[in-house]
Amino acid sequence: MFTDRSGLIVWISDSKAASKHLDRYGSVHFISKRLHYAAMYVHTSKLDETMKQLQKLPFVKKVERSYRNEIKTEYSSNMPDKTRFYTL
C-alpha cells in the first residue's frame, strides 16, 4: 500500500517557478521563500532519474538527497539507569 519514498532538498532561485513546476516530479512537502529551498519526496525507484531531470531545470541551483530514512531510529541502552541515585 505504501510506496518507498526518498526525500530531496532542491535549492532554487525562483520560488514561484518552483511551486508551479516541482509537482510534476514528486510530492512537494515545503517551499521556503526566505531560504530558497524546497523539500520534496519522490519514488525511490526513480530517484536518480528524477535528480538528473531536476538539475536541468533553469531555476534549480543544486539537488541534494536526504539520508533521513537511512538513519538508525532504534536505540539500545547499555548504560544502567541512574535515576534512582538522584531521588530525594
Better pLDDT: 16 or 82: 16
Question: How many separate domains does the chain show?
Answer: 1
Chain segment 41-77, per-residue pLDDT in tens: 999 999 999 999 999 999 999 999 998 878 887 877 7
- Phi first, then psi, for residue 26 (nearest 5°) are 175, -165
Is 76 within a domain? no
The CATH number of residue 50's host domain is 3.30.70.80
Please report the pLDDT score of residue 87 as a whole number.
64
Q: Whole domain around residue 11: which residue ranges?
A: 5-70
The reply to whether 75 falls in a domain is no
Stretch 3-32: mean pLDDT, rounded? Answer: 94
In-domain check, residue 14: yes
pLDDT at residue 82, rounded to an integer: 74
3-state DSSP assignment of residue 42? strand
Residue 86 within any structural domain of the chain: no
Please provide the average confidence, as pLDDT, over all residues in the chain.
89
Residue whose C-alpha is closest to residue 19's, from 64, 59, 74, 78: 59
- Name, in order, each residue with C-beta under 8 angstroms of 9's C-beta and a sequence gap of 6 or more: 37, 38, 39, 63, 64, 65, 66
